[in-house]
């Protein structure tokens, strides 16, 4: 396990106390994040974001980061409504949407007279 973490660039905590402290710090940061989101989002927007996080946790996390960063910069003066959350979701979808193209190459048969 430690070798795997070292390969990924992370340092493995050496003792049980360090692991416990790291886990408590992570839980405290998550609690603070949830508290800030509860203060910023209206209940309907929070419910929608929770439903999104069940299906696509990475997308929900990016929306949360976007909202928290805007709040830290002072760009949000009132609570974010569900309609505003939908607008943010559409903006993120437009930015992350991948354009796919399909090219069909037909094989030409030897007996075709083209």
User: Residues 62, 93: contact at Cβ < 8 Å?
Assistant: no
pLDDT in tens, 5-25: 555 555 554 688 889 889 999
Cα–Cα dist 26/99, whole Å: 37
pLDDT in tens, 53-79: 999 998 899 899 999 999 899 888 889
């Amino acid at each position: 396990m430690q070798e795997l973490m070292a390969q990924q660039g992370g340092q493995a905590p050496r003792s049980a106390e360090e692991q416990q402290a790291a886990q408590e710090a992570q839980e405290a940061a998550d609690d603070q994040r949830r508290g800030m989101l509860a203060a910023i989002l209206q209940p309907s927007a929070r419910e929608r974001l929770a439903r999104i996080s069940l299906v696509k946790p990475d997308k929900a996390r990016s929306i949360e980061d976007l909202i928290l960063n805007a709040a830290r910069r002072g760009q949000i003066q009132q609570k974010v409504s569900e309609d505003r959350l939908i607008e943010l979701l559409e903006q993120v979808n437009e930015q992350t949407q991948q354009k796919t193209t399909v090219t069909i190459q037909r094989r030409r048969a030897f007996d075709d007279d083209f």
